Amino acid sequence: MLELRKDIFADERDDNLNEVGKPTQRQDMLGHVTATSPYFNDHKLQGMLHLKVLRSAHHHARLRRIDVSEAERQPGVRRIIRGSDVPRNINTLLSLINFGKDDEPSLAVDKVRYKGEPIVAVVADSEREAFEALAKIKVEYEPLPTVFDVEEAMKAGAPVVNETYPKNTFTYHDIYDHQKLRFGDVERAFDQADHVLDERYQMSPIEHAPTETNGSIAAPETNGRYVVYTSTQALFFSLDTSAKILDIPSNKLHFIGGTVGGGFGGKVDTLTEPLAILGSMLTGRPVRYMLGREEEMQYGSPRGGERIYIKDAMSRDGRIMARKMRCIFDSGAYTRLSSYAVVKCAAHLPGPYTIPNVHADVYCVYTNRVPATAMRGFGVTAVDFAIECQMDKLAHLINMDPMEFRILNAYRDGDMKAHRREAKNTALIECVQVAAEKAKWTLSDTAKRASSRKNGGGNRASIPDSIRTPEPIAASYERPIPSASSFSQPIAPSPASMPQPMSSPPPAPAPASTSHGATRFSSVFGRRR
């Protein structure tokens, strides 16, 4: 049941509209409910071949020998594709926006870095013949030490998962093994706090579990072009990735998407298109490459695990004075998109609350598991779980109602966020109030009267000076830390961060300097090509 609360924020809206705001039936509804909407796999092309890949049986191993001689002689086999057949057999997805280094082959060559990594592809007349040929391929592995825990992977002497990042961590700004967030001085707040709560949270990986598994069909068109029917969530992203790996101009490819049977972030990786197109180029025939359910479950990239540490300082009347976080993303064996989620996570901290002192380090770490990728709420879902469990614990610690606790600490219009941008258009308080109303949860009159549009800004809009602590630099990068003299000043005592009555929310410490945020660096994109 859905209720539109038109009474709230009515003065900010013009509701005099003809089509917007109406529950119009969707354009594609009839096709969906009559099972006539076309999916990529509905294209049954004449002479279509089927591609399947041989996947690594080991989590981490050197490839000593790959013998395909028997597989090549199997009935129905049209072509065996090896790493050396792939024109540019190394890529990273975000190279399209100049972020990160190429670190992942389409087909493994010298070693495998996770169980299930593709090594050889077989193109055959039928799926069955492709599977039978795969069974005849002989691979000689030399198993290598493995690492599965992110904090183990970050230790000196841990097995190197991905040689592109020999410390098992992605590189930010060419010098750091993590993304930083610094606002105010958390250590001073911990000294002054009535309560300090230090907790650890863990999210396991999860599957996108789409009804339709990842897949595509590539076929030769006229004039040396290839048409590709695909389940992708990002048509040009997949097209440009394929063009790069196959080393062909992008206008040789004609991508057609359409109805997608569930994406949730799991159909951005372009898992099947490059090999399907290559198979088509090598055979001159249409080639279909679609993951089976077991492949999708086990080797289609999942949402990666995340480990989160939160340490909070709180006054006895329930104001959060400081939040220190350490978040570690398990990227699996390759980068894919986890490097991006780390920066998004840093931007999201410390959650939708005005906290005058914030300190966070966020890491992208490599382990010997299936590469992680984007999923609904990417970079945010796990930290929201951690932050909101932590909020519940903090409220419990001082025996305060958890709804009132959130309203007390909620960000409001005009407040300064930890990434040094002013909050505007906020509505957390109103959501809490309306949810309480729905759930018949009693709020105090003070909490009911609170508003996102009142009592924000002012000294809550200031940027506190940050204490500059010495930071370790990733040893493989010998560049000095960029100078940031504005962060080395001692902070002024901040009486404003002392407890205040609830009707006026917690102010941020007064600014001790106006030189904040002046140091700008060229880009997040660590390594431009």
Partner 1 sequence: MAKLRGRGIAAINYPIGMNLGGDPSQALVHSNPTGKFTVALSSIDLGQGMKSVTRQICAETLGVPVEDVYVDTADSDTGPHCMGSFASRGTHRVGNAVMAAAQEARAVMMEAAAEELEVNAGDLVTDGKGNIHVKGAPHRSISTKDVAIAAQFKQGRTISGRGIFLVPLSAVNPETGEMSPATCYAHACLVAEVDVDDETGEVTMIRMDSAYELGRALNPKLVEQQLVGGAWMGLSHALFETPEPYYPEPIHGPRDFVEYIMPGPGDICPHDIAVLERPAADGPFGAKGPGEMCANPVLPAVANAIFNAVGVRVDELPITPEKVLRGIRAQGGARPQTRR
Interacting residues with partner 1 between 116 and 145 (CB under 8 A):
none
Q: Does 30 bind partner 1 (CB under 8 A)?
A: no
Considering only 44, 65, 520, 528, the residue that binds partner 1 (CB under 8 A) is 520
Strands 215-220, 61-67: pairing is unpaired
The C-alpha atoms of residue 61 and residue 41 are separated, in whole angstroms, by 34
Where is 229: in which H helix or E strand? strand 226-230
User: Between 72 and 149, whose beta carbon lies closer to partner 1?
Assistant: 149
Interacting residues with partner 1 between 194 and 233 (CB under 8 A):
199-207, 209, 232-233
Considering only 100, 350, 351, 371, the residue that binds partner 1 (CB under 8 A) is 351
The C-alpha atoms of residue 485 and residue 331 are separated, in whole angstroms, by 34
Instruction: Output the smallest distance, CB 494 to partner 1, in A.
Output: 18
Give bridge partners of residue 358 from the DSSP assignment: 183, 323
User: Between 195 and 393, whose beta carbon lies closer to partner 1?
Assistant: 393
Considering only 381, 455, 459, 500, the residue that binds partner 1 (CB under 8 A) is 381
Instruction: Output the smallest distance, CB 67 to partner 1, in A.
Output: 27
Strands 77-81, 118-124: pairing is antiparallel
CA distances from 380 to 196, 376, 439 (A): 24, 9, 26
The size of the interface with partner 1 (CB under 8 A), counted in residues, is 142
User: Between 66 and 271, whose beta carbon lies closer to partner 1?
Assistant: 271
Binding characters for partner 1, 154-193, by CB under 8 A (x = yes): ------------------xx-xx--xxxxx----------
Interacting residues with partner 1 between 389 and 448 (CB under 8 A):
389, 391-393, 396, 402-403, 406, 410-411, 418-421, 424-428, 430-439, 441
Q: Which positions ≥6 away from 42 have C-beta within 8 Å?
A: none
User: Between 234 and 313, whose beta carbon lies closer to partner 1?
Assistant: 234
Instruction: Output the smallest distance, CB 436 to partner 1, in A.
Output: 8
Q: Which positions ≥6 away from 192 have C-beta within 8 Å?
A: 313, 321, 497
User: Between 88 and 468, whose beta carbon lies closer to partner 1?
Assistant: 468
Instruction: Output the smallest distance, CB 352 to partner 1, in A.
Output: 4
Three-state SS letters, 459-498: HHHCCCCCCCCCCCCCCCCCCCCCCCHHHCCCCCCCHHHC
The C-alpha atoms of residue 265 and residue 37 are separated, in whole angstroms, by 21
Q: Does 313 bind partner 1 (CB under 8 A)?
A: no
Number of other CB atoms surrounding residue 13 within 10 Å: 11
Interacting residues with partner 1 between 293 and 312 (CB under 8 A):
293-294, 297-298, 302, 305
Interacting residues with partner 1 between 233 and 292 (CB under 8 A):
233-237, 239, 253-265, 268
- The Cβ-side half-sphere exposure at 219, using a 13 Å CA radius, reads 17
Q: Does 484 bind partner 1 (CB under 8 A)?
A: yes
